[in-house]
A and B are shown apart, each in its own frame.
Chain A
Amino acid sequence: MADRHIKDFLNFLADNPDQEKRFDENPDRVMTEFGLTADQQKIVKHGTLKQIRKIIKGETSSGFDVYMIKMK
């Protein structure tokens, strides 16, 4: 359940460009203020694209696993 915070945190940054800028300057502070655990902070800071994607996917109840690739 704690992992849900990462998705929420990403939504928070996506929704708040000012916070994204603050995160860029001081990630620890912004993540702590948001309430992420130390382990979650480590994933956000050092996680690869693949790791972050896996966490987000795990949080998605639909289990939808298709990339919505644009068609031409």
Chain B
Amino acid sequence: MAAGGQDRTGSLTIVGGGIRAGLHLTQEARVRIERASKVLYLLAEHAPAAWIARLNPSAESLAPLYQPGRDHAEVYEALVNAMLDWVRRGEDVCVVTYGNPAVLDQSSHEAVRCAHAEGFPAKILPGISAMDCLFVDLGLDPGEEGLQSFDATDFLAFRKAPDTSVPLILWQISVIGDTRTGGTVNREGLRILGERLTELYGEDHEAIVYEATPFPVGRPLIESCLLKGLAEAEVSGMSTLFVPPASKATPDPAMVELLAASDAFHAE
């Protein structure tokens, strides 16, 4: 219902295409793509995309908005506008992004907020994120030792203090501090990250540069590297850094006792 109580035609649904193009698509996302009157899509790179056009011939890539050297904020605004332009024309728009549109993707959140503000129905449907792939490919169960996850730039800029007994995931390590789109890895940013992590974990601590495969074939990229050598590590635009714990967490005896008493009480 629009502001002012009037229904407006046009709607926005943003669906996650997952990481492995086509194959990670959920059933609900597939139906949304098929039934949309206009489909827009943004994949991470030149992963297979023909499947989107086969599901809906109106499909149009948003990739041209990512011209090299463009300010991130400008691209972000252009993406939101591109989505909303079609909605305002009365189209039922489905936007397909890679991974999960709700994860590390402010433009999707912002587009939904803007659509709502203008009275259009809008929502995000989840997809398989790079984190889901990482859990599988690295055999990491976040329920075992917990998990810490930060955007790499934020991790440094806000001087986050991680618990070194808990696995740490740092995203977008190739573009640390970057404000513009580009095709190269910011090695200086990696060097600064390596230094900060070395302070926290020690220089002999190993991390893993991880990259899920966006293709239906091939293996993920899993490369170990010393934190002090991070600046020289093989990193691409889609790399993520996994830092294993440096120590084991130790339980608090008083709390363990309290929980045991609670369990006994509960069992009565």
CA A7 to CA B48, docked complex, whole Å: 7
CB-CB under 8 A from B66, the residues of chain A are 64, 66, 68
Pairwise interchain contact A69-B172, C-beta atoms closer than 8 A? yes
Contact pattern, A 27-40, Cβ under 8 Å of B = 1, otherwise 0 = 10000000000000
Query: Which residue of B has the minimal Cβ distance to A70?
Result: B105
Chain A 20-31: CB-based contact to B (< 8 A → 1; otherwise 0) = 100100010000
Given A64-B46, A66-B68, are A72 and B104 also a contact pair (CB < 8 Å)?
yes
Number of interface residues of A (CB under 8 A): 31
Partner of A10, one of B42, B174, B217: B217
Determine whether the beta carbon of B76 is less than 8 Å from that of A71: yes
What is the minimal beta-carbon distance from A42 to any residue of chain B, in angstroms? 12
Interface SS of A by simple majority: helix
Number of inter-chain CB pairs below 8 Å: 121
State the Cβ distance, B163 to closest chain A Cβ, in Å.
Answer: 22
B54 within 8 A of A: yes
Question: Are B216 and A66 touching (Cβ within 8 A)?
Answer: no
Q: Is the CB of B183 within 8 A of A70?
A: no
Q: Contacts of A17 on B, CB cut-off 8 Å?
A: 22-23
Question: CB within 8 Å of B: which residues of A?
Answer: 7, 10-11, 13-15, 17, 20, 23, 27, 44-45, 47-50, 52-53, 56-57, 59-60, 64-72
Interface on B for A, CB 8 Å cutoff? 20-23, 42-51, 54, 63, 66-68, 72, 75-76, 97-99, 103-107, 151, 172, 174-175, 181-183, 211, 213, 215-221, 234, 236-238
